[in-house]
Amino acid sequence: MSEKKHMLCPKDNHYMKLAHRAKKVRFRDTLIEYNAERYRCPDCGTETATIPQAAQIQKSISDSYREKTGLLTGKDIVRKRKELKLSQQDLAHRIPVGIASIKRWEGTAIQTKSMDQLLRNALQGKVCGDPYTGNREFSTGRIKVLLSHFEFQLNRKILKKGDRLLYAAKYAWYADMLAFRERGEGITGATYAALPNGPQINNYKDLIDDIINADISAITPLTNEEKRFVERVARTFPRDNDVYKAVHNEPVWKEKMTGALIPYTDAERLTKI
Ligand SMILES: [Zn+2]
């Protein structure tokens, strides 16, 4: 790292010395400590970093932040990938994302919680997870539990016989996608398709009676975190018309061919929540 033998202080032209110290910084609302190598003037205290030092500092900040917030660090990703004898391209295929994302995450870019979960799966040697179920098992009972909490929050019925989940599916979609984006796991395991009226539970016609009639006594209730996702969606879209309009403005729905499945990884690109 010490590629320069001499560095002159920009203020007084004295020789600066290499200094290694732990520093504290507030980054994305989190106080982190990172190691920094830079040059320091012994006379006036001015500090400066060369370009490679500055890059190293950025890496150190990014990794400290990721370590503190429970994400894989750039170093973790490189180490685990090499243990599995995977190239960056191999890892990219497993997730699946572009190789540029792997390069960025192994450097200083900070992956979202959902991408972190996908990275962990891929690095545990799991073959490419199904991007259409949000990392969980499908359960009609869970859909019913989810929609019941929406009804409680919205103070009206949205799970109705005969309306083809017209609004209910849109509320469920936002909640599942939001949960996936924030914590790497959906709520219901449902697969969603892009239909002309918006995102819809795939094969909903075959599922609708099962959802309405599901016995929820044996279904895992929503966690507090999941309830908060529902509450956030309900607050953002208080009326049927709000959620209807919002989904029709989501690029991830607009860009799909009719009937195409919407992967949970699209949650990264939602614009209305
Ligand atoms: Zn100086």
Whether 228 and 113 share a structural domain: no
Q: Once rounded to an integer, what is the mean pLDDT over residues 188-207?
A: 93
232: tokens are 């956030």
The confidence score (pLDDT) of residue 226 equals 97
The confidence score (pLDDT) of residue 1 equals 47
Whether pTM > 0.75 for this model: the answer is: no
Whether 233 and 148 share a structural domain: yes
List, in sequence order, the alpha helices (H) in 2-154.
51-68, 74-83, 88-94, 99-106, 113-123, 140-154
Whether 203 and 87 share a structural domain: no
- Hey, how many other C-beta atoms are within 10 angstroms of the C-beta on 247? 25
Share of the chain above pLDDT 70, in %: 96
Residue 89's pLDDT band (boundaries 50, 70, 90)?
confident
Interval between CA 273 and ligand 1 midpoint (Å): 50
Plot region of 174 (φ>0 → left; ψ -120 to 50 → alpha; else → beta): alpha
Residue 3's pLDDT band (boundaries 50, 70, 90)?
low
Q: Once rounded to an integer, what is the mean pLDDT over residues 85-105?
A: 84
Interval between CA 54 and ligand 1 midpoint (Å): 19
5 versus 149: the higher-pLDDT residue is: 149
List, in sequence order, the alpha helices (H) in the chain.
51-68, 74-83, 88-94, 99-106, 113-123, 140-154, 168-183, 204-213, 224-236, 240-248, 251-254
Whether 251 and 187 share a structural domain: yes
Tell me, yes or no, whether 10 lies in a domain. Answer: no
Q: Once rounded to an integer, what is the mean pLDDT over residues 27-43?
A: 91
Tell me, yes or no, whether 167 lies in a domain. Answer: yes
Residue 118's pLDDT band (boundaries 50, 70, 90)?
confident
Tell me, yes or no, whether 4 lies in a domain. Answer: no
The confidence score (pLDDT) of residue 64 equals 95
Distance between CA atoms of 109 and 97, rounded to whole angstroms?
A: 14
Whether 200 and 79 share a structural domain: no
Tell me, yes or no, whether 128 lies in a domain. Answer: no
108: tokens are 């200083």
Whether 162 and 251 share a structural domain: yes
Interval between CA 7 and ligand 1 midpoint (Å): 11
Distance between CA atoms of 156 and 154, rounded to whole angstroms?
A: 6
- Hey, how many other C-beta atoms are within 10 angstroms of the C-beta on 69? 14
The confidence score (pLDDT) of residue 182 equals 87
Interval between CA 242 and ligand 1 midpoint (Å): 60
Whether 188 and 94 share a structural domain: no
The confidence score (pLDDT) of residue 206 equals 84
Residue 249's pLDDT band (boundaries 50, 70, 90)?
very high
Interval between CA 18 and ligand 1 midpoint (Å): 13
Interval between CA 25 and ligand 1 midpoint (Å): 23
Whether 159 and 188 share a structural domain: yes
Distance between CA atoms of 89 and 199, rounded to whole angstroms?
A: 31
Interval between CA 14 and ligand 1 midpoint (Å): 6
Whether 116 and 150 share a structural domain: no
Residue 31's pLDDT band (boundaries 50, 70, 90)?
very high
Flag whether pLDDT at 175 surpasses 70.
yes
Do the Cβ atoms of 37 and 20 come closer than 8 Å? yes
2 versus 222: the higher-pLDDT residue is: 222
Question: What is the average pLDDT score of the chain?
Answer: 91
Domain range enclosing 230:
140-269
The confidence score (pLDDT) of residue 5 equals 65
